[in-house]
Amino acid sequence: MTLAKIMRCVTAGLFLAVFAIGLLPFLLVFFLTDVSGLSDLDPTPIYTLVNKFIGGSK
């Protein structure tokens, strides 16, 4: 392998890692709303999760 090919592989791997880590918070919120069954109640899942945890009601 040449140095250029190694650098391309490392750069592509770092880009994919940064992209995956950047998506984790969004995937976590989506997963939590899906598991708790709140995805059909309100279009803003963060608002509904916060309301559920603080005991708010509509």
**Quick one: pLDDT band at residue 3, thresholds 50, 70, 90?**
very high
Does residue 34 or residue 8 have the better pLDDT? 8
Residue 5 predicted with pLDDT over 60: yes
Considering the entire predicted model, what is its pTM? Answer: 0.47
- Residue ranges of the alpha helices (H) in 1-58? 3-36, 45-54
Rounded CA gap, 18 and 10, in Å?
A: 12
pLDDT in tens, 29-47: 888 877 776 666 555 667 7
In the structure encoding, which two tokens stand for residue 44, read together? 């803003």
What is the sign, positive or negative, of the torsion defined by CA atoms of 21, 26, 32, 37?
Answer: negative
Domain limits of the chain? 3-56
Rounded CA gap, 17 and 35, in Å?
A: 26
